[in-house]
Amino acid sequence: MNANNMIENTDPTSEYIKKNSEMIERTFDAFGIKTRVAEVTNDKDSICFSLEIAMGTKLDDVVALNKDIAIALAAPEGKVEIIAPEPGRALVGIIVKKRKESLLSEKKGKYKLIYIDREEHVKNSLIQQIRNDLAIVMSSIAMLAWKFAQKIRTEDNLDSRPYAKDELFKEAVELVRQDRKASASIIQQRLSIGYARAARIIDQMEYEGIIGKAQGSKPREVLI
């Protein structure tokens, strides 16, 4: 059976056989080897192209083109098998394995499942990472809030603690007791100190109950 007869076959690979028969002949011709596909055997797992080779062609030259033929035919696994010659025949056989579509589909299905599983894993990892980050942020906010509350509490305690008495406190008290007048300006002038320091001494006296509360521009009442 020649290649042309195979083209008329109702086998679904007939077009494939026709194109590849022509490709084999053109490839050998490109390397200076005249061939003709004389027969094609279509088996379950492979297709064998049986070639007539021009007289005087060395079979080693034919076999040497194994990879070139495989590339031209885009053969599965990147290779073809060349039988030179076929047993008991004056023909050279080129065997091309068929693609196992069912196995390929199965592998594609597995790859898809692996891809989906990996995508799901990445998504879950991102969600977990976001949750962890939120937990860290919330923990940080809680810590800052606690520290702020502690600071406010400490400041409140400082504000309510007794004043540390100035070293001139006793002298200032004696002046106030004698003059029966108490004001920051009087303490400032009599003790030759700054106004801010005199004002602190007045506040200390108020805290100790030595003088009364401020009454506008009037001197404070002396209570001792």
Q: Which two tokens stand for residue 26?
A: 């053109």
| pTM for the predicted model, two decimal places | 0.41
Compute CA distances 39 → 5, 21, 90, 104, whole Å.
9, 10, 12, 29
| Token pair 């001139």: residue | 168
Cross-strand pairs, 37: 51
Report the C-alpha gap between 78 and 96 in whole angstroms: 10
The pLDDT > 70 percentage for the chain reads: 78
Q: Are 182 and 222 in contact (CB under 8 A)?
A: yes
Domains belonging to the chain, first-starting first, are 3-99 (3.30.980.40), 162-224 (1.10.10.10)
Instruction: Give the per-residue pLDDT at 15.
Output: 85
Q: Average pLDDT, stretch 69-73?
A: 88
Instruction: Give the per-residue pLDDT at 79.
Output: 80
Instruction: Give the per-residue pLDDT at 35.
Output: 94
77 secondary structure, DSSP code: G
Q: Are 82 and 49 in contact (CB under 8 A)?
A: no
